[in-house]
Amino acid sequence: MTPPGNPRRRPPLGIVARPGSSLRNKTGSWGILHPVFDCSKCTGCNTCETICPEGCIRHLEKKQYEADIEFCKGCGLCAAACPAEAITMVEEHR
């Protein structure tokens, strides 16, 4: 909380205040799930790559994508947004 009379508000703990800092921080160890792409179902719409908040999904070639597991937090947004249901979130075994 900001003390009374102080007009500046500080972000709550846990908020990334500087953009691009996730490129320096490998956050993949946070998640317990990771996406698995089924290229036979993929339509190549690029929704998964666009919606990923970490920017860790890469387009390899026509209808083939991969997630960089070192940065993927396993949020599942890519799987939820995929109109072809070509992404399955799988538990990661380390």
pTM: 0.70
The Cα–Cα gap between 87 and 38 comes to 6
Neighbours of 93 (CB within 10 A): 5
Confidence at residue 48, expressed as pLDDT on a 0 to 100 scale: 93
Q: Quick one: tokens of 9?
A: 């508000």
Confidence at residue 19, expressed as pLDDT on a 0 to 100 scale: 47
Confidence at residue 53, expressed as pLDDT on a 0 to 100 scale: 87
| Domain locations along the chain | 27-91
Q: Quick one: tokens of 2?
A: 């900001």
Domain 27-91 of CATH type 3.30.930.10 = no
Q: Quick one: tokens of 63?
A: 């209808």
- Report which DSSP code applies to 32: S
Q: Residue ranges of the chain with pLDDT lower than 50?
A: 2, 19
Confidence at residue 35, expressed as pLDDT on a 0 to 100 scale: 94
Confidence at residue 55, expressed as pLDDT on a 0 to 100 scale: 87
User: Is 34 within 8 Å of 75 (Cβ atoms)?
Assistant: no
